[in-house]
Amino acid sequence: MANVTVIGAQWGDEGKGKIVDWLASRADAVVRFQGGHNAGHTLVVGEQTYKLSLLPSGIVRGTLSLIGNGVVLDPWALQAEIAKLEGQGVTINAGNFGIADNCPLILPLHRDLDGLREAAAGAGKIGTTGRGIGPAYEDKVGRRAIRVCDLAHLDALTPQLDRLCAHHDALRAGFGEPPVDREGLLAALREIAPFVLQYAQPVWKRLNEVRKGNARILFEGAQGVLLDVDHGTYPFVTSSNTVSGTAASGSGLGPNSTGFVLGIVKAYTTRVGSGPFPTELEDEVGQRLGERGHEFGTVTGRKRRCGWFDAVLVRQSCAISGVTGIALTKVDVLDGFAKVRICTGYRIHGQLVDYLPAHAADQAAAEPVYEEMDGWEGTTAGARSWADLPAQAIKYIRRIEELIETPVALVSTSPEREDTILVRDPFMD
């Protein structure tokens, strides 16, 4: 039996929540390995809808759920999310949930800095969620972060606070803001510490124990490969590595443990916020995709930009992340289109290119080269086998496989967990 790593192979919002929930019901442990509460996963279980931002998706099923060291943790957001889920009847305790004790914290000063920067950036806005993710990662690599384990030693925090405040006070002064309220920050940390520490543990050790028991581990990524700080459409990216290789460093298990890499891919393309988007449709077709796909961000509520499927980007994501197979989602949104299009290449400054270049100017200049196919009548919604799909929908799926050079492992045909066509079982690969 294999472990499985789940990543988004586009700009996020590919429908990871439903797929991770489907896999989590068969896993023994689920671990988040990067990002923060800027992620948004929606799970539909029967009549109940759960919206998660920070908690691993397995928690709804009672599966052991862990937050790895690669995540930046807002303890107040976590407290609110746990309270909300418990109000929906989900049981969360130290037996089924854990937080890496070396996980960095997102503090109020990080949210402040995020907002100040975006407000001052004008046309240079990146489009962050404003939740302090980027500044928290900066402090992590700057070796001035306050981590979960520090909450048990707040009386010894003075040297770290000195480093942290020296940095942030200078930045805040540049924006005309007062220095960090150190006593207020310490008081807030003392108040939240008991709540967080009840879940704190060496997650790397817990995962290694699970692995020795020959159990199934599901590594849950956030955002998408095209938002990776190295490989995404920089600077319009997130502040962490979202590729599958991060599952090892962000959880504490070695790279030989990450197993089958499942890339979640939407049957068309969407993006939230600023940045290049070669296949974006600002017409009635784009409007139709957004309305039928209910394309609004789980975290921000922002309307998503919509466009045709971009095989160039997905092929690039699959290569960078070593994707073993994809889970194709939201095929049903394309039901009823007379024609569907797939981007097979770009024309940039007159040259035909088969990848998205690194420079933002070249990305912005990319004009999609399309291949057009007949659409299909009837519906794919709720299909649970190939026999339930229209023939032309199958042709569309097979053409995507060819163009992205990666096989389909799953096809999702609705938000419901059981509306899934299993082609290749990731846990048995």
pLDDT score recorded for residue 300: 61
Write out pLDDT tens, residues 95-115. 999 999 999 999 999 999 999
Computed over every residue of the chain, the mean pLDDT equals 92
Per-residue pLDDT, 1? 59
From the list 13, 139, 150, 310, the catalytic residue is: 13
Mean pLDDT lowest for which of 51-55, 122-126, 208-212, 217-221?
A: 122-126
pLDDT digits (tens, 9 = 90+) for 232-260: 999 999 999 999 999 999 999 988 899 99
167 classed as catalytic: no
Residue 299's pLDDT is 60
**How large is the average pLDDT for residues 267-274?**
91
pTM: 0.92
Q: Residue 298 — pLDDT band, cuts 50, 70, 90?
A: low
User: Is residue 406 very low, low, confident or very high in pLDDT (cuts 50, 70, 90)?
Assistant: very high
> Does residue 219 carry a pLDDT above 80?
yes
Give the pLDDT score at 155.
95
User: With 80 as the cut, is the pLDDT of residue 121 above it?
Assistant: no
Active-site position among 21, 28, 41, 419: 41
Q: In this predicted structure, what is the pLDDT of residue 393?
A: 96
- How far apart, in whole angstroms, are the C-alpha atoms of residue 420 and residue 274? 32
In b/e form, how buried is each residue of 307-343, taking b as 16+ CB within 10 angstroms?
bbbbbbbbbbbbebbebbbbbbbbbbbbbebeebbbb
Catalytic: 41? yes
* pLDDT at residue 127 in the model: 66
